[in-house]
Amino acid sequence: MKVLIVGGTGLIGGEIALYLTRNGHDVTLMSRKPTTVPALADMPFLQGDYMKDDLSAGRLKGFDWLVFSAAADIRNLPRDGSVTPEEFYTRANDEAVPRFFAAARDAGISRAIMIGTFYPQVAPGQIGVCPYVTSRHNTDVAVRSLGTDRFNVCSLNAPFV
């Protein structure tokens, strides 16, 4: 299968890329910038930023599967006060991730997995309280709601990385 891994140059996405490659899949990494990690640097690379929606028509075509491991967390939160945490997480997760999954669906990708976070499951009382937990919950619900008979979507919310 032809697999696009968004966030493929990071820890989780990179491990998934190596695993899928070892198992015979044709893997392309997508991120804002190429990696220098030797095991990943020779893999096909598609430069893009899901938050900026810079994936013009056709750039997602030809892939069978999508693995998405790039949603924003506390490490990405701007520290300059330019946006509130609520604004940032809403834009980066609640809006941009489902928009990207819809584009993948529309491009003909048939199976997609979102690597999420376990916080909404283990701390559901933080939904509506903590901006990060709220956005990851909202993102998970929105992405899974895009599933159809031709676009199988699931999320994996692992407790530890």
> pTM of the predicted model, to two decimals?
0.94
Q: What angle do CA 75, 81, 87 make, to 5 degrees?
A: 70
Digit-coded pLDDT (tens) for 43-93:
999 999 999 876 776 899 999 999 999 988 888 889 998 999 999 999 999
Instruction: Pick 131 or 72 by higher pLDDT.
Output: 131
- Amino acid identity at 115: I
Please determine, for residue 159, whether its predicted confidence score (pLDDT) is greater than 90. Answer: no
Q: Are 18 and 62 in contact (CB under 8 A)?
A: no
What letter would DSSP give residue 32?
S
